[in-house]
Amino acid sequence: MTRKFFVCGNWKMNGSKKSIGELIQTLNTAKLDPNVEVVCAAPAIYLELTRSELDPKFSVAAQNCYIVPSGGFTGEISPAMIKDCGMDWVILGHSTRRHIFGESNEFIGQKIAHAQENDLGVIVCIGETREEKEKGITDQVIFAQMKAIADNVKDWSKVVLAYEPVWAIGTGKTASPQQAQEVHDKLREWLKTNVSEAVANSVRIIYGGSVTGGTCKELASQKDVDGFLVGGASLKPEFIDIINAKA
């Protein structure tokens, strides 16, 4: 099965009206591979600005959401609000949310379920820390994360899995193409065993963790790497090179 290549730029807590406007102009005028689905995840306060100025061929994602439609949850946004403002996706389970804000596998699972109830596409992040990698428990960690995801997904066509080894995020260290392929293959086998062969073959598994214009082509050549979740490089012109990694 051919899986459409998927590249999401996670802008994190970066940008201003001016810099985001310049980035949008770069994206809108760039020559891009038409066979790639591109999503930009803007900070919540800039979501509507991004959606209004970005070419409609791009999708826009929120970087987080809560587990109920509305209520007394200061500082949170709901999937219903995200959809109401014209966004198609939300990033959930990013290592920032897991390790700085203490979100558990179970809580992330609840967020996935609620996002799906609102027909919002979900980019779900999984990955091991440096300590977990050194202890040799990568498989144990990512399979526990996968179970919490699978228990809450009703529509796999609206899910993209992002493998982001925590030790590679923002550190300049990237998993080798072979390391990335090995984990992506294990994730696909897990899906085949625990969900279905059809889902295992169709769901897109993308890689994140210091992806750059220099590392993207070899990573993209791996058979189970279906795209990228890009952090810092998504704020620079080299994001175009990453989108075009398969071209």
Which pLDDT value is given to residue 210? 86
State the pLDDT confidence band at 171, using cuts at 50, 70 and 90: confident
- Please give the share of the chain, as a percent, with pLDDT higher than 90: 94
8 pLDDT higher than 80: yes
Q: How many Å is the Cα radius of gyration of the chain?
A: 17
48 pLDDT higher than 90: yes
pTM of the model: 0.96
Which pLDDT value is given to residue 206? 98
What is the H or E stretch that residue 152 is in?
A: none
CA 4, CA 13: separation in Å to the nearest integer? 28
Residues 135-155 have pLDDT tens digits of 999 999 999 999 999 999 999
Catalytic residues: 94, 164
Q: Which of 41, 88, 65, 26 lies closest to 208, judged by CA?
A: 41
How much is the mean pLDDT over the chain?
A: 96
CATH of 5-244, one of 3.20.20.70, 3.10.450.50, 3.40.50.2020, 1.10.1740.10: 3.20.20.70
Contact 108, 92 (CB under 8 A): yes
Per-domain residue ranges of the chain? 5-244
State the pLDDT confidence band at 168, using cuts at 50, 70 and 90: confident
Q: Which of 59, 25, 58, 63 lies closest to 43, judged by CA?
A: 63
